[in-house]
């Protein structure tokens, strides 16, 4: 008898698992999205982030990424920037269908419905890849059970960078199941800051001038009715959070839910 005994590499109990790339789409030369397999037993709340990465020379290169797919989805979706000299994204941007990506098992985060106290209208303010967690939250039926109205904003420098959010909201409205849930409730407010577009300007300026509220036909932010999630650069988060606090909203967390929650978008 000739039995070949192969020494299988045993994955560490709490280490990342290798997942297969199922889909890749390049939106601009700086933005792409991809989908990977979701391991059995991997649970998360819509809006959370997880560490993903690639094998490195000595150890894996892992970074925190918001999961852009909703918690009911069979696959996991991510929306990423491409940084030419970024340790992870310089390689990640070259992934192809069938490649393997490392996925940690512990999703966490504050951009979740649980971290907000009940309200009537949910705002999600994002810039750049900060839209990713909201791509998850706006596809979750629970969002529409909890809120009468859902307004997601996405601001980018250039018009082409808005394609992912625009296409996603259109797909939600085209989807037989989701369209029934979101009909008359979900609206996207997209603006570009460095190119001509029907809506231009930073969301902070549009809030301050109240043009945003006029465009959407709603009253200015009110802590009695409005709940808010914010995701973007540090500067954007601070400026939007300051405006929310000026309107009387208090920052919440998983441990202490309140009126608004913040999280930094992945940058490199």
Given the rule CB under 6 A, which residues bind ligand A2P?
Answer: 127-128, 155-157, 193-194, 202-204, 233, 235-236, 239
C-alpha span between 108 and 41 (Å, rounded): 15
Residue whose C-alpha is closest to residue 236's, from 198, 193, 180, 196 = 193
22/83 with CB nearer ligand A2P: 83
Smaller CB separation from ligand A2P, 185 or 238: 238
Q: How far is the CB of 97 from ligand A2P (least distance, A)?
A: 28
Beta bridge partners of 31: 81
| CA atoms within 13 Å, Cβ hemisphere of 171 | 9
Residue position matching structure tokens 């991510």: 78
Of 225 and 233, which CB lies nearer to ligand A2P in the complex structure?
A: 233
Residue 234 near residue 264 (C-beta atoms within 8 A):
yes
Question: Which one, 193 or 225, has the nearer CB to ligand A2P?
Answer: 193
Element (H, E) at 189: strand 186-192
The phi and psi torsions of 241 (rounded to 5 degrees) equal -60, -40
Query: How many Å apart are CA 53 and CA 170, to the nearest integer?
Result: 30
Q: Which of residues 187 and 238 has its CB atom nearest to ligand A2P in the complex?
A: 238
DSSP helix/strand/coil, 140: coil
Whether 112 and 46 have beta carbons less than 8 Å apart is answered as yes
Instruction: Tally the residues of the chain.
Output: 268
Whose CA is closest to 92, among 62, 68, 58?
A: 62
**31 or 137: whose CB is closer to ligand A2P?**
31
């Amino acid at each position: 008898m000739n039995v070949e005994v192969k020494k299988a590499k045993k994955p560490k109990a709490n280490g990342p698992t290798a997942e297969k790339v199922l889909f890749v789409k390049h939106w601009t030369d700086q933005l792409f999205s991809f989908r990977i397999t979701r391991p059995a037993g991997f649970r998360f709340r819509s809006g959370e982030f997880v560490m993903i990465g690639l094998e490195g020379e000595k150890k894996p290169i892992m970074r925190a990424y918001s999961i852009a797919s909703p918690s009911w989805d069979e696959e996991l979706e991510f929306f990423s920037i491409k940084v030419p000299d970024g340790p992870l994204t310089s390689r990640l941007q070259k992934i192809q269908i069938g490649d393997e990506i490392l996925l940690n098992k512990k999703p966490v985060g504050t951009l979740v419905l649980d971290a907000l106290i009940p309200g009537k209208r949910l705002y999600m303010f994002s810039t750049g890849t900060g839209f990713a967690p909201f791509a998850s939250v706006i596809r979750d039926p629970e969002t529409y059970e909890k809120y009468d109205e859902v307004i997601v904003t996405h601001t980018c420098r250039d018009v082409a960078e808005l394609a992912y959010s625009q296409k996603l909201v259109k797909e939600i409205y085209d989807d037989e199941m989701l369209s029934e849930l979101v009909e008359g409730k979900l609206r996207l407010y997209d603006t570009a800051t460095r190119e001509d577009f029907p809506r231009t300007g930073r969301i902070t300026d549009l809030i301050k001038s109240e043009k945003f509220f006029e465009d959407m036909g709603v009253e200015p932010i009110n802590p009695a009715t409005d709940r808010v999630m914010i995701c973007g650069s540090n500067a954007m988060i601070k400026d939007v959070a300051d405006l929310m606090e000026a309107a009387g909203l208090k920052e919440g967390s998983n441990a202490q839910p309140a009126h608004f929650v913040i999280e930094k978008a992945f940058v490199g």
